[in-house]
Each structure stands twice: as C-alpha cells, then as structure tokens.
Structure 1
Amino acid sequence: MIYTVTFNPCLDYVVAVDDLALGEVNRVTRETVMAGGKGINVSIVLKNLGHPSCALGFLAGFTGDEIARRLQLQGIDTDFIEVSHGMSRINVKVKSNEETEINGIGPDIDERDIDELYAKLDALATDDILVISGSVPAALPGDIYERIMKRLEGRGIRIVVDATRDLLVNVLPFKPFLIKPNNHELGEIFGVELKRRDEVVPYAKKLQERGARNVLVSMAGEGAVLIAEDGQVVEGPSPAGVVVNSVGAGDSMVAGFIAGWLESAGDVERAFRMGVCTGSASAFSLGLAERDQVEALLATFNR
C-alpha cells in the first residue's frame, strides 16, 4: 500500500488576472479551487494513474472539511487527523504577468495530534511505500521528518522524501528509498548553481553517498537526472509541450516514478520515464496529470 503524509494541507484558490495591479481592484478571469498540499497531489496523481493510496495528515475547521470532501469525491482514501484548533490553509495562487502565491498558516497541532499520526504510521507494513513531502508548519517539531524515519527504521518500508535543505539533508542517514530535489534545491545544499544535467550528476551522487538510495533531480524544461541505487545514471530532457501550470508538477513526477517502478517490478529506467512524463503532463495542463496524457507523452518521449 502507498501512504502519503501532508503536514499542512490546503485549499488552493488559483486565479487568473490580466495585468495584476497592486493597490487596485483586479477582476479574475478564471478561477479554480482544489485540495492541495504536496502529499495530497501525489495521492491524486497516483489515483489518476490507477494506483490507490491513503492520504494522511492534519485537517481543521471548515476548510479541512472541504479538503476531505473534495478528496472523497475524487475517490482518494483518507485517514486524516482532525485538529481541534484553527483551520486548514487557503493558499491563493495568482497567475498574471508573473505567478504570485499567498500561503495561509494552518491549524494549531498539539502533541496528541502528533501521537495520533505516529500511531497510524506504526501500522504500516513491510514493502509499503510512504511519501513524506512539503514544508513543516510552525506547530510541528522541526525534526518531524527525522522522527518519523527513525521510528520506521528497519521495517522494510520504502520512504520517499520530497523536501528542501535541512529537511532533506537530515534524513539521508536513514537511507530513504527516493529523494527528489530540483536542481535549484540541490544547488542550494552545496552552494552552487546547476543549470545542465551533466552538472547535476556529481552533486546528486554526493547525496547518494550520504545515504539516499535513489536520487531523482527535476529540472523543469531541462528534464531530469536519476542516480539509481544500482549505480545507473539515467537522464533525459522533458517531452515537448507548452507549460501552462507549474503547480504540482514535481509532486506528479514523484507519483509517476512510484507508478512506473511498481508497474515494471523495479525497472528504474521505466520509472524515470514515467516520472518525467507525468510531471510534464501536469505542467502542460490546468489540472494534475491523467493517465491518457501520460501515455501520450510516453509514446513520444526519448531520453
């Protein structure tokens, strides 16, 4: 079974505005509301690709109720913890001449809520896949990623981590099955600027040397690089297409990699291609990737 954890789920309110002007009244030309958060995005895309998962995390207030309702309508299994104080975030994403995001805070999560999450994670079994991704709200301990991985260490659970900077670096000793930084995040870790796939390879290998089993680096239009557990270096450009939406593309790549890995009995090259095409399918559409979109890109994708 696949499980995803989203510590701070949200409702994404995505609006298009022609020539956004600060300090003035702006009229929205297009709007969309969707359940969001990195782990939730992974669960949605996995569902679209035909792989069930269970979404875990914390919800609160009327916004939390709406997040749960929307996921249930999409057929996503959920097992969220209901938090008593505060409300789940509303994140406003404005698409105009530039993309602007205004992200909410999230609910007040206490020790009892955290213990309830631990209890749910303790029920995971050998060969389950757990995806932990996204930022950690101020209400949670800053080392929550490490605490979870230490708790599950040695149980044969494949843990995927999609996080930035210290959140990512500090879990490497626990040997995550897969990590997925982008090239900018990878560069920030080592204090370098990485623009080409060949530049990424040595730094991705450094993360593998620190403990990560598989390192998948996304690079937007430049494509992606995978340093596989068996030593393979798999890299390639993105499929051709017009980017209309960057929200959820990285999460879609994670979901696609997992789906490809499961469908091919662990063929990392197939998983890589599936990941790249799934991330691209989300980037080329207003919503998150659907199976037919991914298959169409796979048919034309050459790495």
Structure 2
Amino acid sequence: MERSNHTVTEFILLGFSTDPVTQRVLFVVFLAVYSVTVVGNITLMVLICSDSGLHTPMYFFIGNLSFLDLWYSSVYTPKILVICISEDKSISFAGCIAQLFFSGGLAYTECYLLAAMAYDRYVAISKPLLYAQAMSIKLCAFLVVASYFGGFINCSIIAKKIFVLNFCRDNVIDDFFCDLFPLVKLACGRKDGFQALLFFSLSSNVITPCVLILASYLFIITTILRIRSTQGRLKAFSTCSSHLTSVTLYYGSILYIYTHSRSSNTLERDKIVSTFYTVVFPMLNPMIYSLRNKDVKHALIKLFK
C-alpha cells in the first residue's frame, strides 16, 4: 500500500497518567493481569489438547477462544508496560498501523467466533442426540477459519484507509493504544467516507454477529421452555451460561465504545472501558469457562496428578 505524504513519523501515546508513582502502580497491575492471562489461557489450551474427554466441538471453540485472547492481549499489554515505566512513549507510524490492524482483526474475529459458539450451543441444546454429527470437525474448523478470515479482511480495509491519510498536525494520542477514533481525529485534510467506513465496520463486524447470537439464544430459550422438568431446564441453561456471560461482557464494552458520543468529559471512562475489553476480558475468559465447569476441573486434577 502506498502512503500519502505527511510530516508525522511517530505518535505519542499518553497512556493513563503522567504521575511516576501512578505509572509504577499501573505497571505492576498490568503485569499481574497479563501474567494471569498468559498462564490461564495456555493452561486451558493444554488441558483441551491433552485430555480426550475435552475433545468435543464446544471445547474446540473454547480452545480457539483462549488462543485468540492470548494473542489479543499480547497486542496491547507489552506496549502498555513500556509506556508505564519508560519515558519514551512513542510508537512509529508503521507500528501504530500494525497495532490497529492486528487489534481490530482479532477483535472482529472474536465477535464472529462468539457467534459460532452461540450456534454450537443452539445445536447442543436443540439437537442433543445429533450434536456430534451436526457439529462435525470440518464444520467447526470452517467456522473458526471463517471467523479469522472475516475479521482480518474487514480490518485490512480499515487499515488501508488509515494508511493513506495525511497526518501533519498533532501526533499525541490521549490513549494507551492506536485506535480508529483518535487516528481519524488527528488526520488533516479530507476525511470523506470515514463515517460510512465506521458504519460498515460496526454493522458487518459487531452488529451482524450480535444479531446472530441473539437469534441463536432466541431459539435456545424456546427450546428450554419446552422442557417440562425444572431440573432439565436448569441443566440446559447451565450449558450456555458461561458463553452468555462472555458475550454480555465483551459486546457490552465494545458497543459502548462504538455507539456513545465521545467528549473530553468521558475520555477517562472510555479508557477504562477500552482497558476492560482489551486487557481484562482476555484474563477473565479462562475463569468463566473453567471455574463452573466440572469437566475442566477434572482435567486439571488429572494434569496435576
């Protein structure tokens, strides 16, 4: 891709605070969160790969989600740690675009993957006897590959548009990573089409998977209501409670960032919400899918033994 002429060769990421003491505290906090994220997601992936009892479509998707979260967190956290302890808070133009590309691609991939997992839960509850046949290995692999393909193809379109913008004024980004909104705000010259691009990004990568998830859960609720026994209903609902928790936390934070009006009064709140779905959420996923899961607990005990 050819880049337009501009005078900005790097950007300055302000992060969360300029106070040295606060920065050290944040460094310790983010290092702890990242350590738990790495250990939790790798442990879950090892369990799923090593235990034959977890070789099912549901755990295949959970394992891929752990891999995605591990990669997703690694796009942000190392740079955040550097910003917290170093006086050099700069990021090169190419590095900024690369971060935008990978962060956006992984975020959109996770949206599609959560939609695929919702379909998996629908099949498991509505067709339990045909679950293994309906969710074949080929179909599961196709859904995962399609999630990555859709996420990164759409993000490459956005990155290409950003890549050819002119940046000739301020290069200071009041955030901890390169995101679409602050980059477009800093660009000078014509910025035609970015509202349409933003709408396309939101509708194709966030709203569409969200609608598919809602449709899947509508069918799931309908199926659960047909179950006569209360115990049977609770058991059916428990199979998708972890996924529902994950979807609520992830989509809630993303939709907030995309849809609310940005101003200087909400900037600090925006940073906190952004931190949640970029850094904290990848740490929570292994806990969500393991703490209340007897199969994972049993596999973990076997692994330690």
TM-score (norm 1): 0.26
Q: Which has the larger radius of gyration?
A: 2
Bigger relative contact order (CA 8 A; separation at least 6): 2
Q: Which has the higher helix share?
A: 2
